[in-house]
Amino acid sequence: MDAVAAFLPYFFQGIWVTLQIFVLGLALALVVAFLTGLGRMSPVRLIRWPCAVFIEVFRGTSAIVQLFWFFYALPLFLDIRLSPLLAGVLVLGLNQGSYAAEVVRGAVQSVPRTQWEAATALNMPKGTTLRKVILPQAFVGMLPPLGNVAIDLMKNTSLVSLVTVLDLTYRAQLIRATTGETTIIFGILVVVYLILTNAISLLRRTLERRMPAGLAYAPGKE
């Protein structure tokens, strides 16, 4: 136990690395989700098809396969060398973004057609309709599944330890190898991840409660 205690400050510095990857990855995932999720519904084929291919490819392989590809194969493919941290953020953002894209699409499609028709009747341009009428209503339905995406993203940050990013998991492995106190350090690691994922669900619940009431369409009470 004393052996581990000496390493604890080093271990807990890993939280910042994990959080950094999580926040940057989530930001990228949200941008990707809205771009490709809406793009997949575009009437223009040249936009719709690439978005659909992107989503299917990134959902059809797992984050770890993509991570290894970006880390080991991409430098040979395009002569781009990414730092491990950047590769991690990029892969997690694109991977979870492709899942979130389907969430965005599903939520937008579940807003009743009449909302589009009403906007058309008011002579509102398509873009404005999407921004001012459809998305604000769709967002209520997106929040719970996007919370799941964020939790998955948090758990997947542990994968970057496999490409030598010094996150919580990597540091726990180092401490295990140095001290041999396997049970204690992995026990602490499990508890830290539990706290992090539960913090995200708590945040989601708070956001859900604060969602504006009185929309024409509310999921669950159609």
- Torsion from C-alpha of 45, 47, 50, 52, nearest 10 degrees: -80
Nearest to 72 by CA among 169, 156, 163: 163
Q: From CA 165, how far away is CA 84, in angstroms rounded?
A: 6
Quick one: which of 186, 204, 215, 217 contacts other proteins (CB under 8 A)?
A: 186
# residues contacting other proteins (CB under 8 A): 47
Side-chain-side CA neighbours of 158 within 13 Å: the count stands at 15
Contact pattern from residue 117 through residue 146 relative to other proteins, giving x for each residue in contact according to CB under 8 A and a dash for the rest: ---------------------------xx-
Quick one: which of 4, 149, 165, 166 contacts other proteins (CB under 8 A)?
A: 149
Based on the shown chain and the rule CB under 8 A, indicate whether residue 69 belongs to the binding site for other proteins. yes
Based on the shown chain and the rule CB under 8 A, indicate whether residue 218 belongs to the binding site for other proteins. no
Based on the shown chain and the rule CB under 8 A, indicate whether residue 22 belongs to the binding site for other proteins. no
82 backbone φψ class: left, alpha, beta (φ>0; ψ -120 to 50): beta
Based on the shown chain and the rule CB under 8 A, indicate whether residue 60 belongs to the binding site for other proteins. yes
Which stretch in 9-17, 132-140, 180-188, 206-214 sits in contact with other proteins by CB under 8 A?
Answer: 180-188
Based on the shown chain and the rule CB under 8 A, indicate whether residue 148 belongs to the binding site for other proteins. yes
Q: From CA 199, how far away is CA 6, in angstroms rounded?
A: 27
Phi, psi dihedrals of residue 220, rounded to the nearest 5°: 95, -15
Quick one: which of 15, 24, 124, 162 contacts other proteins (CB under 8 A)?
A: 162
Based on the shown chain and the rule CB under 8 A, indicate whether residue 156 belongs to the binding site for other proteins. yes
Based on the shown chain and the rule CB under 8 A, indicate whether residue 221 belongs to the binding site for other proteins. no
Q: From CA 134, how far away is CA 219, in angstroms rounded?
A: 13
Q: Which residues bind other proteins (CB under 8 A)?
A: 56-57, 60-62, 64-66, 68-69, 72-73, 76-78, 96, 99-100, 102-103, 144-145, 148-149, 151-152, 155-159, 161-162, 169, 172-173, 176, 182-183, 186, 189-190, 193-194, 197-198, 220
